[in-house]
Every structure is written in C-alpha cells, then in structure tokens.
Amino acid sequence: MSDGGIDIRSIRNIGIAAHIDAGKTTTSERILFYTGKIHKIGEVHEGAATMDFMEQERERGITISSAATTCYWKNHMINLIDTPGHVDFTMEVERSLRVLDGAVAVFCAVGGVEPQSETVWRQLDKYKVPRIAFVNKMDRVGANFFDVMSQIEERLGATPVPIQLPMGCEEAFAGIIDLVEMRAIEYTDELGTRMELEEIPQAYVDEAQKWRERLVESLAEVDDEIMEAYLDGKEVSREKIKEALRFGTINLKLVPLLCGSALKNKGIQLLLDAVIDYLPSPLDIPPIKGVNPLTGEEVVRHTDPEGPLTALAFKVLVDPYVGRVVYTRIYCGTLHTGMSVLNATTGRKERVGRILRIHANKREDIDSAFAGTIIAIPGLKGTRTGDTLCDEKEPIVLEGMNIPEPVISLA
C-alpha cells in the first residue's frame, strides 16, 4: 500500500516536546525549512538554498500553526504533530500524545533538564512514546552537552546514548561528530550546508573513539549479537549499530542523544536523519485498543490498511482557508472521499466529502488516506475532539477517549 511513493513503513508521526524556550519553535521551523527544499518526493535540492529562500518562507508564514504538518525527508513522510505546552495531564495533552508514534525531546544546552521538561518527559513515559533527545543551543555561552546528558540520566531516569559529539561549543561550536558513521560534519555557512570531512579531526579522535566504544557497550545491553562481538573484541558494523539503536529506542530501553543549534542551522539535517533511522513507523507501535459500543467487548486494531476503519479525531480547528477541519489519525483501514463513516462516540453517521493533507504552507486535496496517516477532514459537523470515527459495520470507541452518548442509533 502506498501513497505517492510512501509506504506505511516510511511514515513517522512525531511530536516535538520541550520546556518553554528550549527551542521547540525554532527547531520545528528549521525542520520545515530543510524538508521544504524537497518539492517532490525524491527530489532534493541540496545546496541550492540561499538565505533569501528562508526569508521568503518566513514571510509566507511557514510555521507550525496547524495541529499537524506533513513534510518529506529522504522518501519518508514526517507528520509533525503539535504537542500542547500544557504542564498537566489534561485530556488535550492525552489526545495529542496518543497520536504520536515517537517524539523529539529538545533540551537547552545551558538550562538542561528544567522542571517543565521533566513533566513532558513523564507524560511521554506514561504513553510509552519512544524518543530521541536533541541538545539545542550548543552555540550559547555555558552550553554543556555532557551536563545535559547526566541530567537526563539522573533526573529523568533514562539511558541517554550519545550518537553524536559536539565539535567545540559556545562561540566555537563548529560541527558535529557522528559516532555511528564515525565521520565529522563541519558547518561552513549560515544555512548549515554541511561539509563532510573524510576523517574526524585529530584533536577529537581519542574522544570520538571513547564514545564510540561506550555506544557499542550500551548497545550490547540490548542486542545479543553486539554483546558477543563486544566480548570477543570484534568490530560491529554500522548497519548493526543502527539496527540495535532503532530496536533499543522503539522498545524504550534507550534514548539516542544528539546535539546542535537550531538558530545557527546546525544539526537539523542529522536530526531528521535520526527521526527516520530510530523512531518507529506506525507498523512498529502496539495495536490500538477500544470497545465495541454495542456489545461492550474489547476490540484490538492493528495498523492495517485493509482492516475496518478506525480513526481518532484528535483536534478540531478552524482553518483560515477551509473553515472547520477535524484533524484525524487513521489507525486501521483506509478512508476515501465520499465515504460514510460512523462517529461511534455520538452514534451518528457523517459523510467525508474531502480529505486534506496539511503542509507547512498549503493544503492538498487527496482521494484517500490509509492506516498510519494523519489528515484533516473539513465539514464533519458533529465530530468533536476525542471522537472515534469508524466503519459502521465494525464499530469501536477508542480506549480512554470520549465516552459514547447514551443513545446509540445506528440507523
């Protein structure tokens, strides 16, 4: 099953979680900037960008102003879901976390783990959302990658595993060492166009070697094959390291740690690569549960485009161009325009006239959307945030969501 060349395995539904001021907005904008350079899937205009381009995009208001924004990176579809900045466990937070398959936790390299980042982290823990951590603002005075790493370990009880090292910091933050590929990326211009060095600079070789060994050591804990190689003193291949990192991240055993400076355009492209490499696709997440509102029986639905339609309306917004739209995550089945769906929460049927994919600066009409995707549906008058939309023949109300209204009429 594919959608414009994208299959379910290539979808990433992610949120960016952060303490206020850590750089969530800047990081999101930079992600849209770099992914915006890919106008068609597979067509990458590398190095073609100028500062002008960025300014133009800014003028057009290329910011995350919607509940979810679709962008593409290296033949993958990334749906960036807006996570509310609330600090408490409200229904709103619950709903937005429910639709994420993975998250990027952004920390300030100076402030580290702040009280609010702790709250957000605990929420992600509660919903078992796999995550990677991005230590932002490496260019600021007082930035310290290793302090933030210790704080993540001590205060959040997580196992951060550096997969990068900063080359220099504060004013002198010039690049990043990639511990998986064992190469250095030096940034030479304002747009963060990267220059790959063939070798890690001599001054960093020992440190990089030490942290590469630690990386392998941490992975030995989650992968038997790496453990054996480690004990035998054998080399572990780059592919094997990536596979174990992905497995460990998806299974919540470890958190890959990255660094950069969103403001200075450093590290964003590597962050996007890590989203693709280590965060789960909709096929990697556990099946979603709910209840049949007619029988009270528990129902389990897998990410299957051929299965019965199961979708969650997670946010209702008024779009300046389209009017009221219902942001919807499809967990199972395929939604087509013209289809009649059951809102199992209200017991009423609704017709889906249009399906929209929301990009940073445009709305795209699509004919269908399958399990794993996130779309916006205009014109669903009776659907509220938290309602379950499904196939009327196989009704389901998703667990923990709005309780169905007392009288259910399937007429």
Residues of this chain that interact with ligand GDP (CB under 6 A) are 18, 20-26, 136-137, 139-140, 261-264
- The rounded distance, in Å, linking the Cα atoms of 245 and 243 is 5
Whichever of 28 and 373 has its CB closer to ligand GDP, that residue is 28
- The rounded distance, in Å, linking the Cα atoms of 91 and 260 is 33
85 is in an annotated binding site: yes
Please say whether the beta carbons of 180 and 218 come within 8 A: no
206 is in an annotated binding site: no
Buried b (16+ CB within 10 A) or exposed e, 248-257: bbbeebbbbb
Least distance from C-beta 137 to ligand GDP, angstroms? 4
Least distance from C-beta 290 to ligand GDP, angstroms? 34
In this structure, the number of other CB atoms found within 10 A of the CB of residue 213 comes to 12
Least distance from C-beta 22 to ligand GDP, angstroms? 5
22 is in an annotated binding site: yes
Instruction: Return the C-alpha torsion angle 372, 374, 378, 379, nearest 10.
Output: 40
Whichever of 17 and 180 has its CB closer to ligand GDP, that residue is 17
24 is in an annotated binding site: yes
Least distance from C-beta 200 to ligand GDP, angstroms? 23
83 is in an annotated binding site: yes
82 is in an annotated binding site: yes
Tokens describing residue 273: 């690569």
Least distance from C-beta 175 to ligand GDP, angstroms? 14
Whichever of 261 and 402 has its CB closer to ligand GDP, that residue is 261
Whichever of 78 and 262 has its CB closer to ligand GDP, that residue is 262
Least distance from C-beta 262 to ligand GDP, angstroms? 4
Whichever of 97 and 311 has its CB closer to ligand GDP, that residue is 97
Least distance from C-beta 178 to ligand GDP, angstroms? 19
- The rounded distance, in Å, linking the Cα atoms of 212 and 207 is 8
Least distance from C-beta 21 to ligand GDP, angstroms? 5
- Binding residues, by number, are 18-25, 82-86, 136-139
Binding positions for GTP are 18-25, 82-86, 136-139
